[in-house]
């Protein structure tokens, strides 16, 4: 073929100034939109335009997780602590399953230092069947954005009560996700004793805003419709 010496297209394109401006300007704007609107929310949990939240792309973001072994941890069997032990009774009202995720499930955790121990006992009052209540007993650290999260899973199952003790494997928050799958509202009564701190209302671990040591009717002021 003789085309080798005769290019069939110019070595550079001849584009009008207007087209060139359109391509570069459009490329910069579209590129910035993709980065700010999609990549940053999805990869780094930063959402300057709010588009990540609007499109749901922001939900793709999750901190890197590191799971710790919770069955074979070592450590002394007798421990001493600097702080005083505390005791709390937390009554958590949950709507029936028709109340949706907002009413029928929530997470309640307390803050614990590494090596701190607590004794717990919880029961679901008002549940009809033993498998009405789902629970996930777990803990994790509370990392800064972009940092790795360490998680520990203790037990995820169904049942109406649990009693035992926990020694925290790391500084972080420890507790339960409760879900009511039954058709009657229930109250989860959690009794805690030991070395821990309550998580203030609205913070990670107590986003539902549960108030401790008050009757169930007053324990969830942020969610009124369960008191009808």
109: CB partners within 8 A, 6+ apart: 139, 173, 174, 175, 176, 199, 205, 206
**Which is closer to another protein, CB of 26 or CB of 130?**
26
Distance from C-alpha of 136 to C-alpha of 111, rounded to nearest angstrom: 17
Per CB under 8 A, does 184 bind another protein?
A: no
Q: x/- binding map, residues 109-148, to another protein, per CB under 8 A?
A: ------------------------------------xxx-
Nearest alpha carbon to residue 215 among 120, 87, 90: 90
**Which is closer to another protein, CB of 24 or CB of 87?**
24
**Choice from 46, 49, 89, 211 touching another protein (CB under 8 A):** 46
Count interface residues toward another protein (CB under 8 A): 34
- Range in contact with another protein (rule: CB under 8 A) among 35-43, 73-81, 153-161, 193-201: 35-43
- Range in contact with another protein (rule: CB under 8 A) among 21-29, 66-74, 161-169, 178-186: 21-29
Per CB under 8 A, does 39 bind another protein?
A: yes
Backbone phi and psi for residue 128, each to the nearest 5 degrees, phi listed first = -85, -45
Q: x/- binding map, residues 208-227, to another protein, per CB under 8 A?
A: --------------------
Residue-level length of the chain: 228
Side-by-side strand order, sheet with 117-125: 86-94, 186-194, 117-125, 161-167
Per CB under 8 A, does 32 bind another protein?
A: yes
**Which is closer to another protein, CB of 28 or CB of 54?**
28
65: CB partners within 8 A, 6+ apart: 140, 148, 149, 150, 151
Contact residues for another protein, defined by CB under 8 A: 4, 7-15, 17, 19-20, 23-24, 26-28, 30-32, 34-36, 38-40, 42-44, 46, 145-147
């Amino acid at each position: 073929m003789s085309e080798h010496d005769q290019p069939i297209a110019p070595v550079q394109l001849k584009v009008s100034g207007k087209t060139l401006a359109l391509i570069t300007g459009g490329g910069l704007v579209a590129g910035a939109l993709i980065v700010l609107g999609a990549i940053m929310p999805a990869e780094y949990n930063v959402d300057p335009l709010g588009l990540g939240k609007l499109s749901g792309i922001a939900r793709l973001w999750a901190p890197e997780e590191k799971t710790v072994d919770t069955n074979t941890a070592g450590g002394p069997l007798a421990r001493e602590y600097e702080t005083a032990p505390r005791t709390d009774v937390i009554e958590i009202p949950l709507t029936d399953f028709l109340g949706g995720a907002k009413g029928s499930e929530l997470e309640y955790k307390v803050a614990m230092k590494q090596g701190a121990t607590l004794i717990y006992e919880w029961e679901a009052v008002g549940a009809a069947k033993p498998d009405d209540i789902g629970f996930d007993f777990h803990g994790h650290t509370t990392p800064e954005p972009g940092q790795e999260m360490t998680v520990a899973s203790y037990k995820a199952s169904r049942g109406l009560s649990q009693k035992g003790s926990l020694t925290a494997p790391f500084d972080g928050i420890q507790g339960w996700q409760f879900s009511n799958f039954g058709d009657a509202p229930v109250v989860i009564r959690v009794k805690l004793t030991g070395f821990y701190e309550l998580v203030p209302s609205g913070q990670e671990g107590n986003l539902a805003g549960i108030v401790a040591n008050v009757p169930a009717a007053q324990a969830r002021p942020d969610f009124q419709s369960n008191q009808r």
